[in-house]
Structure 1
Amino acid sequence: MFALVDCNNFYASCERLFRPDLQGRPIVVLSNNDGCVVARSAEAKRLGIKMAVPLFQVQEQIDRENVAVFSSNYALYGDISARVMTILEQEAPAVEVYSIDEAFLDLSGLAPHFSLVEYGLQIKRRVYQYTGIHVSVGIAPTKTLAKLANHAAKQYPATQGVVDLSDPQRQRRLLGLMPLREVWGVGRRLSRRLEQQGVTTALALADCSPAWIRSHYSVTLERTVRELNGQPCMELEACPPPRQQILCSRSFSHRITEYNDMRSAIAQYSARAAEKLREQNHLARVVTVFIRTNPHSQHERFYSNSASRILGVPSADSRRLTATALRLLKSIWQPGHRYMKAGLMLSDLYLPGHFQPSLFEAPESPAAMRLMQTVDNINHSGLGQVRFAGELLSSGWQMQRNHLSPAYTTRWDQLPVVRA
């Protein structure tokens, strides 16, 4: 038995936590460089503001309806998410953090002892009491059904935010009400194909022959059909598998024309990617850098290029990875262009000690790894930051975040102040 706990309108809810004056007011949160709407409060959804719509297209409505606008505050969202997940880990024997605002809980064996609905309500009360975040809870014998139960918990107020689908008859009633596009893993293109075959609801998909689905579509969709019928095909991943590659990439707030601006951006991307690499205890052997101009511009010549290098020995040393990245950048940089985006990717990942170097290559130095660990400890302590000089060479490429709220919970100088 699984429970899917999902934070309601998470980004908007985080922005409202320390702003009681925003209660009842529509809120939208913007993407990088304040480009598009990526999160909406319930009030903003009722106004008809669509997900992913560019800000300039709804600016008039935002002004007219007094909508509060925020840039993405990743520090705040990440910290509140960590607090929510910590509470969930106290409520269940095993937890899989699925995304920043969702987690699957293992409830196996709990049903004979007490009501699962009451258990879900207890989770809702506790998360709200300790964090101020409202959540919805979907409970079912498979992950796919738990996803649908969670959707129903948000859609139908009478459920009080908790839906239990442990009863097969209740499963089928809900599946009959759910359109095909609400099934986890069934995208828009696949929905159109299935609808052409007369499969228009989640129940119709559940009633399909698994063998027919496998032969005409895929093994993945066959698993979905089995899950809709209460047959678990996906286990709880308490320790998610490590990523096979690490990518750091951003579109710039304005076009980059100076090499030092691009050099600073690539240096910072490299340092961040190396930090992520060490967090999952891996080493990378391939470094790739790419840059590009705007492919849709009718007034500028399009230029896009990338370069990669294979290291003799995999590394997680920020110094080595950054030096390699900057040499790659120099090899593909062309002056005279207005660059829109750049990125860095680390791939061909190894666990420490799992790569056999040649006779002429020394493995990663233990002293280097201790130095990197010390840098990470300082950067995560909240007491200061250690950065490479190349990262600070220029700030002209930084993201545009004109509506950024304070980092209420992660910076001493931005703690909320209560005045009598």
Structure 2
Amino acid sequence: MRSDQVFALIDCNSFYASCERVFRPDLAKTPIVVLSNNDGCVIARSYDAKPYVKMGEPYFQAKEKLRRHGIVAFSSNYALYGDMSERVMSLIESMVPAAEVYSIDECFADLTGVAGNLTQFGRDVRARVLRCTGIPVGVGIARTKTLAKLANHTAKRLQAQTGGVVDITDNFKRDWVLRNTEVKEVWGIGRRMTVHLEPMGIHTAMDLAKADPRMLRDKFNVVVEKTARELAGTPCLELDEADPPKQEICCSRMFGKRLTELAPIKQAVATYTGRAAEKLRAQGSVCKRMRVSIRTGMFNPEEARHAQGALVELPYPTCDTLLMTRLAVDAAAKIFQPGFRYSKAEVLLMDLRQPGEFTADLFALKQSVCCDRLMNVMDRINNRWERGTMRPGSVPTSPDWGMRREMLSQSYTTRIDQLWTVKC
């Protein structure tokens, strides 16, 4: 890797909450939290909500506290967050030489060779993303990806002083950040590893940067060794511009209520299979095996517990929603047992390959060209008009077993009937 390489980490601030605020300017100064599936617990908080609510706190326990502090809660709106993420990432990719989308709200960029003041460049990126999408971001710039992550953390921690952009390509600035950052805040370390590092006298990021990398590898693993080298300024992690295809794809959801009948469980399994098949086709893969499972709640001592799964061998490598749904529903019928209150179903696609990677004899069955065309048409229709517009008949539109999302915001960017309206 080049010694003059420069990375940036561009991270959306309180992303889920920021997405909600974009279309609710009246909440610009109101604390916001976003809840998990079935409005279970807090999974995202705006900056001004963090002093009052812990991450992962159950909603039923925090409800009164939220009301008392004037904090507004939203059900998770993944369609909105996914679309806003695509807009942010596309904008960033248009401004930098190369980019790696690391997560729904984070993006690494390669700024090697970018002329001019990098701090000002980071401010330009930040201003344009905010102007075009309404999403505030922080920018950390450094010689390695791990240092860029640390710079981004500093930009957020010292927002008032930094303006949301920190450049530590200069060694003096880098050392100041390393000395003033606890080791638990380092990317890839966390609290569990900190318990083992602190008895060794490693309390700050600077302590880890100065530690013997070979000793860290022998005592822990190669990941910790690379982290220490990166903190010291030696690049060990490349920019991955294309994500490798996933080896497994899972779609799993809790039901909005307990199910005791087979029919709605079949509907749920059909729905989850269709979603998993969409993801499968999106990465251009086919599947030869899948596992279907259902289970009851596991934490209520007053309820009988039951968990069962079935392995399904597909007749040939396929991404055919109709075939996979039929076999998955049949498997669900075999493992269902009356008398239990089921709370969750899961469909796991395994043994994934790219088309042509499976070896088969001359007479082996394979997916037909007509099926490929049908799946392509279905995906194009759903991408244009919203997911579920074209679907198997066994998949309902608004099932009563669906996720509880009582505080769901509108799909402002993905549904034409829910566009943002401005009254004059």
Q: TM-score range by the shorter chain?
A: over 0.9
> 2-side partners of 1:396 and 1:261: how far apart?
9
Could you say which residue in structure 2 is the equivalent of 1:56?
A: 60
- Map of 1:251-270 to 2, 5 A cutoff? 251-270=254-273
Q: Is the 8 A contact 2:274 2:321 kept in 1?
A: yes
Deviation of the 1:325 alpha carbon: 0.8
Q: Does 1:118 align with 2:123?
A: no
Q: Does 1:74 align with 2:78?
A: yes
Match of 2:196 among 184, 193, 207: 193
What is the letter of the counterpart of residue 77 of structure 2?
Answer: N
Q: Is the 8 A contact 1:2 1:105 kept in 2?
A: yes
> 2-side partners of 1:104 and 1:356: how far apart?
37
Q: Is the 8 A contact 1:288 1:346 kept in 2?
A: yes
> 1-side partners of 2:105 and 2:84: how far apart?
9
Q: Does 1:278 align with 2:281?
A: yes
> In structure 1, the residue corresponding to 2:287 is in which secondary structure?
strand
Could you say which residue in structure 2 is the equivalent of 1:135?
A: 137
Q: Does 1:346 align with 2:349?
A: yes
> 1-side partners of 2:80 and 2:333: how far apart?
36
Q: Does 1:323 align with 2:326?
A: yes
What is the letter of the counterpart of residue 389 of structure 2?
Answer: Q
> In structure 2, the residue corresponding to 1:98 is in which secondary structure?
strand
What is the letter of the counterpart of residue 422 of structure 2?
Answer: V
Match of 1:390 among 391, 394, 397: 394
Under a length normalisation based on structure 2, what TM-score does the superposition of the two structures give?
A: 0.96
- Map of 1:192-271 to 2, 5 A cutoff? 192-271=195-274
Match of 2:22 among 17, 23, 28: 17
Q: Is the 8 A contact 1:70 1:405 kept in 2?
A: yes
Could you say which residue in structure 2 is the equivalent of 1:27?
A: 32
Under a length normalisation based on structure 1, what TM-score does the superposition of the two structures give?
A: 0.97
Q: Is the 8 A contact 2:213 2:228 kept in 1?
A: yes
Could you say which residue in structure 1 is the equivalent of 2:416?
A: 412
Deviation of the 1:93 alpha carbon: 1.2
Q: Is the 8 A contact 1:80 1:131 kept in 2?
A: yes
What is the letter of the counterpart of residue 164 of structure 2?
Answer: G
What is the letter of the counterpart of residue 118 of structure 2?
Answer: L
> Which stretches in structure 1 are left out of the alignment for 5+ residues?
none
Could you say which residue in structure 1 is the equivalent of 2:316?
A: 313
> 2-side partners of 1:394 and 1:90: how far apart?
38
> 1-side partners of 2:128 and 2:400: how far apart?
44
What is the letter of the counterpart of residue 275 of structure 1?
Answer: E
Q: Is the 8 A contact 1:313 1:357 kept in 2?
A: no
Compare 15-24 and 192-201 and name the one that shifted more: 192-201
How many residue pairs get aligned? The number is 417
Deviation of the 1:359 alpha carbon: 4.5
Deviation of the 1:393 alpha carbon: 8.6
What is the letter of the counterpart of residue 402 of structure 2?
Answer: Q
> 1-side partners of 2:331 and 2:103: how far apart?
33
Q: Does 1:40 align with 2:84?
A: no
Match of 2:147 among 139, 145, 148: 145
> 1-side partners of 2:223 and 2:313: how far apart?
34
What is the letter of the counterpart of residue 321 of structure 1?
Answer: M
Q: Is the 8 A contact 2:32 2:72 kept in 1?
A: yes
Deviation of the 1:225 alpha carbon: 0.8
Deviation of the 1:266 alpha carbon: 0.3
Q: Does 1:91 align with 2:91?
A: no
Task: Describe the superposition over 1:360-382 as per-residue Cα deviations: whole angstroms up to 9, x where unpaired.
Answer: 42222111111100000011112
> Which stretches in structure 2 are left out of the alignment for 5+ residues?
1-5
Could you say which residue in structure 2 is the equivalent of 1:108?
A: 112
> In structure 1, the residue corresponding to 2:94 is in which secondary structure?
helix
What is the letter of the counterpart of residue 214 of structure 1?
Answer: R
Q: Is the 8 A contact 1:14 1:77 kept in 2?
A: yes
Task: Describe the superposition over 1:303-355 as per-residue Cα deviations: whole angstroms up to 9, x where unpaired.
Answer: 11111122242110001111121121122111110111110000111111111
Deviation of the 1:197 alpha carbon: 2.2
Compare 339-348 and 300-309 and name the one that shifted more: 300-309
> 2-side partners of 1:222 and 1:146: how far apart?
17
> 2-side partners of 1:325 and 1:188: how far apart?
40
Could you say which residue in structure 2 is the equivalent of 1:301?
A: 304
> 2-side partners of 1:412 and 1:360: how far apart?
48
Q: Is the 8 A contact 2:292 2:312 kept in 1?
A: no
> 2-side partners of 1:99 and 1:268: how far apart?
25
> In structure 1, the residue corresponding to 2:394 is in which secondary structure?
helix
> 2-side partners of 1:380 and 1:359: how far apart?
36
> 2-side partners of 1:123 and 1:211: how far apart?
38
What is the letter of the counterpart of residue 16 of structure 2?
Answer: Y
> In structure 2, the residue corresponding to 1:390 is in which secondary structure?
coil
Task: Describe the superposition over 1:94-123 as per-residue Cα deviations: whole angstroms up to 9, x where unpaired.
Answer: 11111111100110112xx20100100000
Q: Is the 8 A contact 2:216 2:225 kept in 1?
A: yes
Q: Is the 8 A contact 1:293 1:337 kept in 2?
A: yes
> In structure 2, the residue corresponding to 1:96 is in which secondary structure?
strand
What is the letter of the counterpart of residue 53 of structure 1?
Answer: E
> In structure 2, the residue corresponding to 1:349 is in which secondary structure?
strand
> In structure 2, the residue corresponding to 1:311 is in which secondary structure?
strand
Q: Does 1:401 align with 2:420?
A: no
